A and B are shown apart, each in its own frame.
Chain A
Amino acid sequence: MSLGKTEVEYISRLTQIEVREEAVEGVAEKLSNILELFAQMEAADTKDVLPMAHPLDAVQRLRPDVVTEVDQHKKLQAIAPAAADAHYLVPQVIE
């Protein structure tokens, strides 16, 4: 399976990773190489095998409904690229 320009552009949009026009071909080739590795899975017979999401058959532990956190917005926003009036800032979003 090899990827073309359309697929690379689609993945670029999904992941919000820019692929410059001149780089598309190179990226497509590298990704295609990896997909070739994936293709090795096809031959395996996985009929009746259940997918495994976690290595251990553990179950979710539950946390008591208690407020344990305090206001840290000053500390957290001290490392934010842009913040004002306790808000994180992004270029204007038109809704």
Chain B
Amino acid sequence: MMHNLTIKQMSEKLRTGEFTSVQLTQHYLDRIDEFDTELNAYVTVTPELAISMAEEADKKIAAGEAELLTGIPVAHKDIFCTDGVKTSCASKMLDNFIAPYDANVVALLKKIGMPILGKTNMDEFAMGSSSESSYYGPTKNPWDHKAVPGGSSGGAAAVIAAGLAPMATGTDTGGSIRQPASFCGITGIKPTYGAVSRFGIIAYASSFDQAGPMTRSAEDSAWMLNAMAGFDARDSTSLERETPDYTAELERSLKGLKIGVPAEYFGVGLDSDVSDVVKTAIAEMEKLGAKVVEVHLPNKDLAVPSYYVLAPAEASSNLSRFDGVRFGYRCEKPTDLEDLYKRSRSEGFGEEVKRRIMVGAYALSAGYYDAYYLKAQKLRRMVRDDFIKAFNDCDVIMGPVAPTPAFNIGEKSDDQVSMYLSDLYTIPVNLAGLPALSVPAGFAQDRPVGLHIVGPYFSEAKLLNIGHQFQQVTDWHTKMPAQYQ
């Protein structure tokens, strides 16, 4: 089946004419038709756009102008502005927002000729870990429809896991690529902060937000990251350095690799089945020639409160532009300016978004700035410094992505704090701006579990090398839920 192929295989078959991009794209559109009503992983499907782009791609291929990814369809998280396509951020606020421009990532992939299948579901404004806060309803986990797919890029993870797209874009502010990748049994990488342009990505927390690929394998992610990453003059935080070839190191041996395993990542709260899966995966790495060393991340527990001060603080300001004046939702018949603001924002935003805006504004308000915001910024440095110190003794750090496998829909939606705490392994990485990968490593309670691999700045190629080598000796990444095979 086409949807079981690797990206390289797909590319090969497109080039040799075994199938066309139109056929490949139509295959995915058919699957979306068949499965997505139940799964709810797409907010918007764009069949006409997809087919017309596929036709263009086929011309390129025929003309011998194709790149590796030309003709391979992609699904964009609904946080990436897409010219002429509804870009909702899964919010009522933007339910009517037809973006008048492309995000840099969208433009890059368009230029290569990757047909856009549609826009994937997510937590509203990327604020969440379960994709339940979407205005369009929760996405289901393809492995178990009772479970959440994780979040915020839950739709993206679900479409990859269910074979409703071969590649998907995601964004990761506090774990939003890696945690859903773990919950859905797919591969996802959050690159170093600044590696992928944020231009045209609707901001949640600007100093954390980072886009990355979500695919079936590390190799696929490497190809996709090659296409997504690069300097963009329109983003002040975009890294002005040459973009490496992320596939260059895929085949390197892991012999001599020093894996740091922080004891703090295996403490109280970690599900014992998850712990077993992760430890088994690390043992697999040792078989490949890697060595395990103990490292310490003593300030790990401070990361969660620090993040939940800083990210909402930034968000409270980033989301002020949604005021019902220039775009997006406006309340019916506002009586005056304040009524326009208050009702547009109260009716347009969902509960969790409002909560984060309010708590973020509070953390910045007179009298609390030092105790909350500034303190959190200091902790951010301490958390970052922990990593820098740890990397003196190891090449990469491995541990769990999330403390549990996917939880059930509704299980935590009423208890934000416990939801926040479930991000404890991913958040420190965002505070530091480091790259990190999640690769499928097994199952716990019949739900997928990912292995978290964190590296020093700009070590994406190394992380993907490790993921790829692991995937040469394991087959977790090739598994698909029975009904979607």
| Residue of chain A at shortest CB distance from B83 | A75
| Residue from B301, B341, B375, B432 in contact with A46 in the complex, judged by beta carbons closer than 8 Å | B375
Q: Are A46 and B382 in contact (CB under 8 A)?
A: yes
Which of B354-395 touch A at CB < 8 Å?
Answer: 354-355, 357-359, 361-363, 365, 371-372, 374-382, 384
Q: How far is the CB of B238 from chain A (nearest CB, A)?
A: 8
Closest to B312 in A: A34
Residue of A nearest to B385 (CB): A49
Query: In the complex, are the beta carbons of A15 and B358 less than 8 A apart?
Result: yes
A6 to B378, CA, bound (A): 29
Q: Does B302 lie at the interface of the complex (its beta carbon under 8 Å from any beta carbon of A)?
A: yes
Residues of A within 8 A of B302 (CB): 40-41, 44
B96-104, B247-255, B273-281: which one contacts chain A? B96-104
CA distance A40 to B96 in the complex (A): 40
A17 to B355, CA, bound (A): 10
The interface residues of chain B lying within 8 Å CB-to-CB of A44 are: 299, 302, 375, 378-379, 382
> How many angstroms from the CA of A88 to the CA of B363 in the assembled complex?
32
Beta-carbon nearest neighbor of A30 in chain B:
B355
Interface 1/0 per residue, A38-65 and B, CB below 8 Å: 1111101010011111111010110100
Chain B: residues with Cβ within 8 Å of the partner, total of 75
When the two chains form their complex, are residues B379 and A41 in contact, meaning their CB atoms are under 8 A apart?
Answer: yes
B346 and A54 within 8 A (CB): no
B416 x A34 contact (CB < 8 A)? yes
Closest Cβ–Cβ distance, residue A72 to chain B (whole Å): 7
> When A and B form their complex, which 10 residue pairs have the shortest distance between CB atoms, in order from nearest?
A55-B433, A51-B377, A81-B330, A52-B381, A46-B378, A18-B346, A16-B341, A49-B378, A18-B342, A55-B193
Task: Judge whether B378 and A38 touch: CB under 8 Å.
Answer: no
Known: A15-B358, A34-B355. 17 other contacts (CB 8 A): A3-B362, A16-B342, A17-B342, A31-B358, A33-B416, A35-B362, A39-B305, A41-B375, A46-B379, A51-B381, A54-B207, A55-B208, A55-B430, A55-B432, A56-B239, A79-B98, A80-B326
Q: How far is the CA of A72 from the CA of B99 in the complex (A)?
A: 13
Kindly provide the distance from the CB of A24 to the nearest chain B CB, expressed in whole angstroms. Answer: 12
CA–CA, A52 to B416, complex, Å?
A: 26
Q: Which residues of A contact B338 (CB under 8 A)?
A: 16
Beta-carbon contacts under 8 Å, B96-133 to A: 96-98, 100
For the complex, is B18 an interface residue (Cβ under 8 Å from A)? no
Query: B86 CB to closest chain A CB, in angstroms?
Result: 10
The 0/1 profile, CB within 8 Å of A marked 1, for residues 324-351 of chain B is: 1111111000111111111101100100
Chain A residues whose CB sits within 8 angstroms of the CB of B421 once the complex forms? 37
Chain A contacts for B325, CB-based, 8 A: 80-81, 88, 90
CA distance A42 to B306 in the complex (A): 11
List of A residues within 8 angstroms of B233 by Cβ = 61, 63
B-side residues, CB < 8 A to A, are 96-98, 100, 192-194, 207-208, 233, 236-237, 239-240, 299, 301-302, 304-306, 308-309, 316, 323-330, 334-343, 345-346, 349, 354-355, 357-359, 361-363, 365, 371-372, 374-382, 384, 416-417, 420-421, 430-434, 457
- Roughly how many angstroms separate A92 CA and B371 CA in the complex, as a whole number? 39
Q: What are the residues of chain B within 8 A of A56 when measuring CB–CB?
A: 192-194, 237, 239, 433, 457
Whether B100 pairs with A33 at a CB distance below 8 angstroms is no
CB neighbours of A60 from chain B (8 A): 236
Q: Are A34 and B378 in contact (CB under 8 A)?
A: no
The 8 Å CB contact of A58, one of B239, B374, B380, is: B239
Contact between A82 and B330 (Cβ–Cβ < 8 Å)? yes
Bound CA–CA A50/B416 (angstroms): 30
Instruction: Tell me whether B309 and A38 are in contact (CB under 8 A).
Output: yes
Chain A proximity of B397: nearest CB distance (Å): 16
Query: What's the least CB distance linking B471 to chain A, in Å?
Result: 28
A88 to B328 CA separation, bound complex (whole angstroms): 13
Query: What separation, in Å, do the CA atoms of A60 and B382 have in the docked complex?
Result: 23
Chain B residue nearest in CB terms to A34? B359
By the criterion CB–CB under 8 Å, are A41 and B336 in contact? no
Which of A10, A37, A41, A80: most chain B Cβ within 10 A? A41
Q: What are the residues of chain B within 8 A of A49 when measuring CB–CB? A: 378-379, 381-382
Complex formed: what's the CA distance from A39 to B359 in Å?
13
Highest count of chain A CB atoms <10 Å: which of B192, B340, B378: B378
Is A76 touching B339 in the complex (CB atoms < 8 A)?
no
**Complex CA–CA separation, A90 to B306 (angstroms):** 38
In the complex, how many angstroms separate the beta carbon of A15 from the nearest chain B beta carbon? 5
**CB pair A15 B316 closer than 8 Å:** yes
How many angstroms between the C-alpha atoms of A29 and B430 in the bound complex? 28
A12 contacts the other chain (CB 8 A): yes
- The answer to whether residues A41 and B457 also contact, given A52-B380, A63-B233, A79-B100 and a CB cut-off of 8 A, is no
A65–chain B nearest beta-carbon distance, Å? 14
Are A37 and B305 neighbours in the complex by a CB distance under 8 Å?
yes
